[in-house]
Structure 1
């Protein structure tokens, strides 16, 4: 059996979620897993080249 990854869980809870120690230690494992899944499931993909070109045209750097 693999031990629970406490170090990774604490880095995620404190670093990503920015929880206080009190809030982190009150979480159940299921709540922590749900937060982890919610963050990891929302991967942001960059726009395709055409989308990037459109944004650059609409919002140019400088004038």
Structure 2
């Protein structure tokens, strides 16, 4: 993870304001779990497994002209 806590908080606060209409007070009163639920972010997002060799082969087959 790069950047400071302040930078990350500012980005999250902006998303909450734009997507949910939350005020800064509502953002800071919420928990990370509440914010994720309000934005419909599944638990563990960003922790997906890498594609398998077979999945990569299939993607390459579908997009031969790359």
Please report the TM-score for the alignment, with normalisation by the length of structure 1: 0.48
Please report the TM-score for the alignment, with normalisation by the length of structure 2: 0.47
